Amino acid sequence: MSTLEIRDLQVSIDTEQGNKPILKGVDLTINKGEIHAVMGPNGSGKSTLAYTIAGHPRYKVDGGSIRLDGQEVLDMTVDERAKAGLFLAMQYPVEIPGVTVANFLRTAKTALDGEAPALRTWIKDLRSHMSDLKMDASFAERNVNEGFSGGEKKRHEIMQLELLKPKFAILDETDSGLDVDALKIVSEGVNRAHQATDLGILMITHYTRILRYIKPDFVHVFVDGHVAEQGGPELADQLENEGYDRYVTASAAAAAAAGN
Amino acid sequence: MSATPATTDTTAGPLVEPVVRPGSTGHTDGAWADRPVPVQTRSERFASTDPAAFPAVTGREVDWKLSPVQRLRPLIDGQLDGSPYAYLARETPGASVEWVGPDHELVGAAGKPEDKASANAWSSVENVLLVTLSGDEASSITVGRSGLDQTPRAGHTVVHATANSSGIVILQNSGAANLVENVEIVVDEGAHLTVVSVQEWDDDAIHLSTQFATIGRDAQLKHFVVSLGGSIVRVNPSAHLAGQGGDADLNGVYFADAGQHLEQQVYVNHDAPNTKSRVNYKGALQGDGARTVWIGDVLIGRAAPGTDSYEQNRNLVLSEGTRADSIPNLEIETGDILGAGHASATGRFDDEHLFYLESRGIPEEEARRIVVLGFLSEIVQRIGDQALQDRLQASLEQELAEGARARAEADAQHGSSRAAAYTDKLPGSGPTPTAAGYAAKLAEAASTEGTV
């Protein structure tokens, strides 16, 4: 059984005001097939967690470990992490001029598999995934994310998730900026990937709305760079009613107490 | 009249030259007090076919100050061989090529030299190569030169698209060269002409080319400068939109390796109503001493109401130790225009692009290759000749592969923090690309062309 295990993860970034700690000891274990929701207020470090797992160079790991089936992910380059089975669906995917979606996806698939996919089945695969996500066939010939609407960018991310078949996917605020129809289409894609490959999912979100369509097994409340509380799906309902105030206040009080 | 300095993407660019614009006056410290003020308007620049009419080139002139003038002396001032040279041509019906005398009626139809080197070439040639497109069907012709040598030589080509003709002319340059030339492009009424000047010279070649175009009523010129090989390559295209409804689409793509100087000074003269121009040049620099210069002048004259104009230059800096100059200039003499804009950006590789591709499992070197090719392909894909596009795409891929090692060396020399990482990732196996291999590639490319 595949496991993604995060232990005492401490991460900082360099800003103009100096080094700033963001993650202050995160513990999280995700098994294959499990869906974990990480929820929290803005600035709590949710996206930092996502990008640190994927290996973005901006984030400096000061301590702790991320192990995928016992292998230290932090020692891997960004592409090695993808090859090991990690996938990050980004909140703001970048535009890449002059590179078509078809070319990009085929290059990625070839890099991950170590060999080029057979042309006929590949094109069939691509078309069926695009149609599942209600994407026009002309999409494949457009340049990566260039001129895409917010919804198209997110669908493109989920299409990659379905095509590249990772072991674990981190969804960074995939629900943000989507209308209800787009949210349903994207959620269905995530659920398909979950069922098809027993994907483990770390779903980062600010809102509970997406949890109506993607049912989490575990909910973690993220406050000030660490997991403040965890529980089952019922925790999400509680958050929907009460918001994050309770945790934020408690965290501030704890910080004040530590200061004394 | 207004002139506007370069806008520069300061988010990433490590090195951007201060703006020097034609027509600017000197400092008020007295040094310039007794000297004539440089010409104010681009169209008033001195022009003559007689090299003696130009003062000696000092290297401080606005059109020479960014060029390695000392290495160009034989071409600027020296004796030039103006005899006809061997060329390869492949054409379809409707296109022809022949040598004509320098007194041919079309010689001088498109313009006159504005610098001493151009005038030196003009006055030295014994014959002029005349390329003619005629007929209603779209025609094409490729004229290849690969048999030149190190002797300083002059050249003169006239490309003539007769009224309402259409087609593409590819000037394909490879092998050795020490060449200064003028290329005149005459686009008659209603003609649609594409001219592609491809510079894939040997590593030590020197090439100065002034390309004048005159574009008639409702005619269109698509012009491409593709500069990849050569030690110093300076191609200066100008387009005179002389008839109403004329359209100039001037494009360039260049890739400067270690020690290479690639320059282009582009000039569009809107001189008739309702004319349109687009200038789009994109370049990459990689390796120690890689140098590019782009100057883009656009003049919208009093006779050109309804002008629609935009020019841009983008440079991608791929290693330490490079320098890109990018200078857009815009002069507007009439207020009644549709639009006039310009943009210039010189910057590093966008690390977010790399991260996105790498996060999908694509290794760093491959990711860089994809992003750079995408950046440059935008120009190549618009040429409209699939065979040439495929071949140039392959040439760009080879430039990138050959440059990877040079980039790592340049970064290491300049102490880039990323250098170590790149060095680690360089493929250890495989031979270093050689000049011989490159020449073989060019020979292969040349052999695909027919001979007349």
Radius of gyration in angstroms for the set of CA atoms belonging to chain A, rounded to a whole number: 19
Closest residue in A to B374 (Cα–Cα) = A98
pLDDT of residue A71: 96
Out of B352, B366, B374, name the one closest to residue A94 (CB).
B352
For residue B212, the cross-strand partners are B184, B238
Residue B250 has pLDDT above 80, yes or no: yes
Q: How far apart are the first and last CA of chain B?
A: 50
* Chain A: closest CA distance from residue B10 (Å): 17
pLDDT of residue B432: 32
Cβ contact, residue pair A54, B363, below 8 Å: no
Percent residues over pLDDT 70 in chain B: 80
pLDDT of residue B217: 98
Per-residue pLDDT band for B444 (boundaries 50, 70, 90) equals very low
Q: What is the mean pLDDT of chain B?
A: 86
Query: B-chain residues within 8 Å CB-CB of A162?
Result: none
Neighbours of B124 (CB within 10 A): 21
Helices and strands of chain A, counted as H and E runs = 8, 10
Cβ contact, residue pair B362, A77, below 8 Å: no
- CATH numbers and ranges of domains, chain A: 3-259 (3.40.50.300)
Task: Determine contact, residues B124/B82, Cβ cutoff 8 Å.
Answer: yes
A98 close to B (CB below 8 A):
yes
Closest residue in A to B361 (Cα–Cα) = A79
Maximal CA-CA distance, chain A: 67
Cβ contact, residue pair A79, B363, below 8 Å: yes
What angle do the packed helices A101-113 and B351-358 form, to 10 degrees? 50
Q: How far is CA B439 from the centre of its chain?
A: 22
Top-ranked range on mean pLDDT: pick from A95-109, B17-31, B75-89: B75-89
For A121-130, A246-255, B18-27, which range has the lowest pLDDT when averaged over its residues? Answer: B18-27
DSSP designation for B431: P
pLDDT of residue B245: 97
User: How many interchain CB pairs under 8 A, A with B?
Assistant: 78
For A88-102, A159-173, A245-259, B14-28, which range has the lowest pLDDT when averaged over its residues? Answer: B14-28
Out of A54, A97, A143, name the one closest to residue B359 (CB).
A54
Query: A-chain residues within 8 Å CB-CB of B352?
Result: 94
pLDDT of residue B448: 31
* Chain B: closest CA distance from residue A198 (Å): 19
Across B217-275, the runs of DSSP E, i.e. the strands, are 220-229, 232-241, 247-256, 261-270
Reported as a single tens digit per residue, the pLDDT across B159-208 is 999 999 999 999 999 999 999 999 999 999 999 999 999 999 999 999 99
A137 close to B (CB below 8 A):
no
* Chain A: closest CA distance from residue B400 (Å): 16
* Chain A: closest CA distance from residue B361 (Å): 4
Compute the distance between CA of residue B214 and CA of residue B335 in angstroms, rounded to an integer.
Answer: 24
Reported as a single tens digit per residue, the pLDDT across B357-400 is 999 999 998 998 899 999 999 899 899 999 999 999 999 988 88
Paired tokens of A231: 């529980």
The full set of domain ranges for chain B reads 42-349
pLDDT of residue B37: 59
Residue B431 has pLDDT above 50, yes or no: no
Suggest the residue from A94, A148, A165, A168 to mutate for an interface test with chain B (most B CBs closer than 10 A).
Answer: A94
Please determine, for the modelled complex, whether the ipTM score is greater than 0.90: yes
Cβ contact, residue pair B378, A57, below 8 Å: no
Compute the distance between CA of residue B263 and CA of residue B199 in angstroms, rounded to an integer.
Answer: 12
Paired tokens of B392: 């140039």
* Chain B: closest CA distance from residue A112 (Å): 6
A115 close to B (CB below 8 A):
no
* Chain B: closest CA distance from residue A108 (Å): 6
Compute the distance between CA of residue B166 and CA of residue B158 in angstroms, rounded to an integer.
Answer: 16
Per-residue pLDDT band for A244 (boundaries 50, 70, 90) equals confident
Closest residue in A to B421 (Cα–Cα) = A77
* Chain B: closest CA distance from residue A162 (Å): 12
Which helix (H) or strand (E) covers residue B274, if one does? Answer: none
DSSP designation for B150: S
pLDDT of residue B421: 32
Cβ contact, residue pair B370, A82, below 8 Å: no
Cβ contact, residue pair A99, B359, below 8 Å: no
pLDDT of residue A43: 87
Residue B34 has pLDDT above 80, yes or no: no
pLDDT of residue B38: 59
pLDDT of residue B118: 98
Residues A197-223 have a mean pLDDT of: 93
Provide CB contacts within 8 A for B69, sequence distance 6+.
Answer: B57, B58, B59, B76
pLDDT of residue B425: 29
For B15-24, B53-62, B312-321, B424-433, which range has the lowest pLDDT when averaged over its residues? Answer: B424-433
* Chain A: closest CA distance from residue B382 (Å): 12
Compute the distance between CA of residue B45 and CA of residue A177 in angstroms, rounded to an integer.
Answer: 55
pLDDT of residue A32: 96
Compute the distance between CA of residue A113 and CA of residue B224 in angstroms, rounded to an integer.
Answer: 39
Compute the distance between CA of residue B224 and CA of residue B209 in angstroms, rounded to an integer.
Answer: 13
* Chain A: closest CA distance from residue B245 (Å): 31
Paired tokens of A224: 């000030």
Q: What is the mean pLDDT of chain A?
A: 92
DSSP designation for A143: B
Query: For residue A64, is it left (φ>0), alpha (ψ between -120 and 50) or beta?
Result: left
Closest residue in A to B377 (Cα–Cα) = A98
Residues B23-30 have a mean pLDDT of: 56
Closest residue in B to A55 (Cα–Cα) = B359
A116 close to B (CB below 8 A):
no
Closest residue in B to A56 (Cα–Cα) = B355
Closest of A6, A87, A84 to residue A49, by C-alpha? A6
Residue B32 has pLDDT above 60, yes or no: no
Residues B127-139 have a mean pLDDT of: 94
- DSSP string of A95-158, one letter each residue: P-TT-BHHHHHHHHHHHHHSSPPPHHHHHHHHHHHHHHTT--GGGGGSBTTTT--HHHHHHHHH
Helix (H, G, I), strand (E, B) or coil at B110: coil
Query: A-chain residues within 8 Å CB-CB of B376?
Result: 98
Out of B355, B364, B370, name the one closest to residue A99 (CB).
B370
pLDDT of residue A106: 94
Residue B318 has pLDDT above 50, yes or no: yes
Which helix (H) or strand (E) covers residue B166, if one does? Answer: strand B166-175
Cβ contact, residue pair A79, B358, below 8 Å: yes
Helix (H, G, I), strand (E, B) or coil at A9: strand
Reported as a single tens digit per residue, the pLDDT across A128-149 is 999 999 998 888 989 999 999 9
A57 close to B (CB below 8 A):
yes
DSSP designation for B66: T
pLDDT of residue B441: 37
Cβ contact, residue pair B358, A98, below 8 Å: no
